[in-house]
Amino acid sequence: MNTDLLARLDRIPIWALPHRYLAIIGLGYFFVFFDIANIGYALPAISDEYGLTKSEGAFVAVAIGLLGYSLGSLSIGVLADRFGRYRMLVLTMVLTAIGSFGDAAAQGLISLAVFRFITGMGVGADLNLVTTYISELAPARVRGRIAVATFMIGILGQAITPFVAWALVPHFDFGWRLMFVIGGAIAVLGLLVRTVLPESPRWEVTHGRDESAARTIDAMEQCCREKCVDLDAQSASEPDEPQRGGEHFYRRLTILIAMWFLWYIGNYAFLGDGAQLLADRGAAIGGSIALLAIGAIGYPLGALAALRTVDRFERRLVILAASVVWLIAMAAVGSFAGDVVIAIGCLLASMSLGCFLQVAYTFTAECFSTNIRATGFALSDGIGHAGGAVGVLLLPVLVTHWSFGAGFTTIGLTGLAAGVVALLGPNATRRRLEHISA
């Protein structure tokens, strides 16, 4: 490995590539979060059209998608560690476009399940690779802020989705299909613009592609010189020393799988079941979507909170704080104490999601070395997504056999537990990747 090239890369203190690259990456993120949210709003209409029970609808539309998510993240993550980040970032957009248009055209249970699986593969792999890619290009002192800034473009997809659903699903028989067509169009646009991105020079160095890595680093250094950034001074100011005797790979993997498993129980239960359960409780489908749409304003607010805190405090503490807000939010929704309280609960839930997700994604990528970063992320997030399948199936059971409040409070507690587990991970804020993963 050419350590001189890595040293040159690590001394660059700013985002030294065109800023449009962040917007390009964020557009792909936008689709990912649009798709994660849209199935929950489409599910009541899909169930009505196909005559599905709640459990059947959740299993086919959500659990099958999560299975694809996990397998896609793992398989394409392994390929990304072997063949590079760039090629797989293009492949994920191809898969998501095929899957989303297929979702829109589905004519029955089987075809819907097949295309939800394909969509899930693309979505799962893309979340993995975007975080990995940004982490490897961004400088240590602002890595969190750059990751969150990109994420803010994506999280708008989750904020906008309920308003799109509110306009389409209650008013048109084919409204849920139009939602997937919109998602497919976004994926095609993301595919087209991603072709200009460079390969990760950090990945190239670890695979002996020094000439290509050097060209990218040369361009980044030239950008710094044009902005009058003193590279030598930055290099000398780095105080970090590599960790000695830190956690082993499997210990970190266990911690991160547990964190994501616990978080996704509530995350997917709320997004996948929330509209239907609120409707069953007494709100019309349009009314339940409206409550969630009002609450969705919190997604960019949560991301803004992350932007302000992610490089000022340890990632683990920011993750824990977001999980505390999540518990409060689920208790408010579960109280069913009127539209205002439910809307406030939905707002707090989306704020928690907007803050937790990218901070935790960045933290996950930082915990692994470059040669296995995408694979480690895929195992952590992919296996962790089994919690999402559990949550989607579990919440309706808890609401039915216990109570509405007990069901939502339970998924609030699992979210808090995720924040507590994160405290077991390493220090990561403002540290070089090689020091964190040592």
Distance CA 353, CA 148 (A): 12
- 375-387 pLDDT per residue, tens: 999 999 989 988 9
- 69-90 pLDDT per residue, tens: 889 999 999 999 999 999 999 9
All domains of the chain in start order, with CATH: 18-197+239-436 (1.20.1250.20)
Categorize the per-residue pLDDT at 278 as very low, low, confident or very high, splitting at 50, 70 and 90.
Answer: confident
Categorize the per-residue pLDDT at 29 as very low, low, confident or very high, splitting at 50, 70 and 90.
Answer: confident
* Sequence-separated (6 or more) residues with CB below 8 Å from residue 308: none
Higher pLDDT, 170 or 96: 96
Percentage of residues in the chain having pLDDT higher than 70:
92
Average pLDDT, the chain: 87
Distance CA 265, CA 34 (A): 19
Percentages helix, strand, coil for the chain, rounded to the nearest 5?
A: 80, 0, 20
- Is residue 217 over pLDDT 50? yes
DSSP code of residue 372: G
Question: Residue 110, Cα to own-chain centre: how many angstroms?
Answer: 27
Q: How far is CA 118 from CA 4, 98, 124, 318, in A?
A: 41, 7, 10, 33
Torsion of CA 169, 46, 34, 187, to 10 degrees: -110
Are the C-beta atoms of residues 249 and 262 closer than 8 Å to each other?
no
pLDDT of residue 56: 74
Q: How far is CA 213 from CA 4, 70, 198, 206, 218, in A?
A: 11, 30, 9, 10, 9
What interhelical angle do 143-168 and 109-137 show, nearest 10? Answer: 160
pLDDT of residue 377: 95
Categorize the per-residue pLDDT at 304 as very low, low, confident or very high, splitting at 50, 70 and 90.
Answer: very high
Categorize the per-residue pLDDT at 234 as very low, low, confident or very high, splitting at 50, 70 and 90.
Answer: very low
- 334-364 pLDDT per residue, tens: 998 888 888 899 999 999 998 999 999 999 9
Distance CA 106, CA 100 (A): 10
Categorize the per-residue pLDDT at 21 as very low, low, confident or very high, splitting at 50, 70 and 90.
Answer: very high
Distance CA 425, CA 363 (A): 9
Higher pLDDT, 300 or 349: 349
Q: How far is CA 357 from CA 72, 323, 349, in A?
A: 19, 10, 12
- 87-144 pLDDT per residue, tens: 999 999 999 999 999 999 988 888 888 999 999 999 889 988 999 999 999 999 999 9
DSSP code of residue 209: -
